[in-house]
Amino acid sequence: MSLVAQKLRAATVDPAEPRLDGPVVRIRARFGKTWAASGTGFFIADWLSSIVTARHVVALADGAAPAEVLVRVLAGGRWVELEAVAVAYPSGGVAADDVAIVRVNARCSSALRMATLDAPVAGQVWGYPLGNEAPRAPLVVPAKVRPSEGKVVLDRQGRIGMSGGPVVAVVGDGPPTAVVGIYLGPAPNGGGRAQALAAPSVLASMEAAMGCA
């Protein structure tokens, strides 16, 4: 495993790290002197200090990397800024083209885990839409989700700013913890539908970025 891969995968051990309220974060990227619109990301169990998001949240369409990445997360009911110390963009082979991983100076013992979706289920999109910077839990948008050729199709769109957030399956009476995809935005064919990158592609991309494929 490369040094960069070790840095991305390893959890921080700073005793002063903030105690996070949840696994979903707000992300903004700066390109030159301009800050792009914010998006969403999230921690996954077993990757305690690495955040998963959509590549288009932290990179330009031409592939240009940001000069700075700002991550904000709720801790004790208030926003806390986390230092982004590394950003990885999986590419080639099994890697998907819209995944990015951001290593931060904090860790989250998240209960969220990736899961393969093999049949339609009720789901939710979690994320932080644009226009409200108040410290509050992420917005939850309910939707029916189904698998479709490496993607997850939703019958309802999330709001702008929720790109990169988790799409979770709602099964049984307990809190949802199974992430079946990363929310990408409106589906190409429109019709009020949206799309997410399916969990297996996300995991393959993460492993590729970590140098473990």
CB 113 within 8 A of CB 177: yes
Percent of the chain with pLDDT over 90: 39
| Integer Rg of the chain from CA | 16
Cβ distance 137 to 78 under 8 Å? no
Quick check: pTM over 0.85? yes
Residue 85: name the closest of 147, 12, 171, 15 by CA.
12
pLDDT tens readout for residues 79-116:
999 988 888 887 655 556 788 999 998 888 787 899 99
pLDDT tens, position by position, 43-86: 988 788 889 999 999 988 887 889 999 999 999 899 999 988 88
CB 199 within 8 A of CB 115: yes
pLDDT confidence of residue 192 = 82
Residue 207 CA to residue 213 CA, distance in Å, equals: 5
What is the predicted pLDDT for the residue at 15? 47
The rounded mean pLDDT for the chain is 84
Domains of the chain by start residue, with CATH: 3-110 (2.40.10.10), 113-201 (2.40.10.10)
**Confidence band, pLDDT 50/70/90 cuts, at residue 170:** very high
Q: Is the pLDDT of residue 9 over 60?
A: no
Buried/exposed 18-54: b ≥16 CB within 10 Å, e otherwise: bebbbbbbbbbbeeeeeebebbbbbbbeebbbbbbbb
